[in-house]
Chains A and B, each alone.
Chain A
């Protein structure tokens, strides 16, 4: 068994869920998280509109959060975070690559902030309702 942790864009979650449903692995835990990557959180939503000037989001379109307030008012340095959705699912070994491929296919926009997928080993699983173990528990 492997645990797939995918950190994806918020607006791609419905599509991702649909694709996982079609693959036959609809079970997942979803959490709202904040994150940052190599760009240190300096990405913004006007990626969607290429006609805007490059510095537009830093000057005008910052959403009113504590970190953007700090940027606008030139407060001492803060760490910026981007809201994301984290999807965690435990699946059998043989379907990991299939699921990873379809998650990538759905979520790929080619712009920074598409997210990461982590695969970790899981030793055992138990379904609380029936007491089934490992393979049957995640089937």
Chain B
């Protein structure tokens, strides 16, 4: 299993979530975060924004679904301008469902 952490624009959140739901991946956790990237924030005239609001979407999926999920997220979250976000994938050794206590996703 893999954990996918996607940093996306907050205004794209609903679109991404509904697209994932439509493809059979309804489960995720989201949290608002602040961050900056290569461009060191955003310069609008004389005003410099060092950290910009993003939505972090975290989900754990089976190995075979990783490419599909990343495809959906990157397709829906893309605007083509800087600040579209990043997607990170990391390994997950074990998953437990608290309700049943079983080690299944």
- Least CB distance from B101 to A in Å reads 5
Q: What is the bound-complex CA distance between A117 and B27, given in angstroms? A: 13
Q: Contact at A104–B96, with CB atoms within 8 Å?
A: yes
Evaluate contact between B29 and A109: CB separation under 8 angstroms: no
Q: Is the CB of A36 within 8 A of B99?
A: no
B52 lies within 8 A of chain A by Cβ: no
**How many Å lie between the Cα of A120 and that of B91 in the bound state?**
6
Stretch from B14-22, B40-48, B70-78, B79-87 at the A interface: B14-22
Whether B30 pairs with A33 at a CB distance below 8 angstroms is yes
**Which of A39, A77, A109, A117 has the most B CB atoms < 10 Å from its CB?**
A117
CB neighbours of A7 from chain B (8 A)? 29
Residues of B within 8 A of A121 (CB): 91, 93
Residues of A near B28 (CB, < 8 A) are 35-36
**With A79-B17, A79-B21 in contact, do A119 and B29 touch (Cβ < 8 Å)?**
no
A residues less than 8 Å from B97 (CB atoms): 114, 116
B31 lies within 8 A of A117 (CB): no
Cβ of A50 within 8 Å of any chain B Cβ, yes or no, is no
Q: Which of A6, A32, A78, A111 interacts with B99 by CB under 8 Å?
A: A111
- Residue of B3, B27, B29, B96 near A120 (CB, 8 A) is B3
Contact between B30 and A104, CB atoms less than 8 A apart: no
Residue of A with least CB distance to B102: A104
Are B93 and A119 closer than 8 Å at their CB atoms? yes
Task: Name which residue of chain B comes closest to A117, CB basis.
Answer: B96
Contact present for A31 and B17 (CB under 8 Å)? no
Which of A31, A114, A116 gathers most chain B CB within 10 Å? A116
Residues of B within 8 A of A (CB): 3, 13-14, 17-18, 21, 26-31, 58, 60, 90-99, 101
What residues of chain A have their CB less than 8 Å away from a CB belonging to chain B? 2, 6-8, 31-40, 77-79, 81, 84, 86, 96, 100, 103-104, 107-121
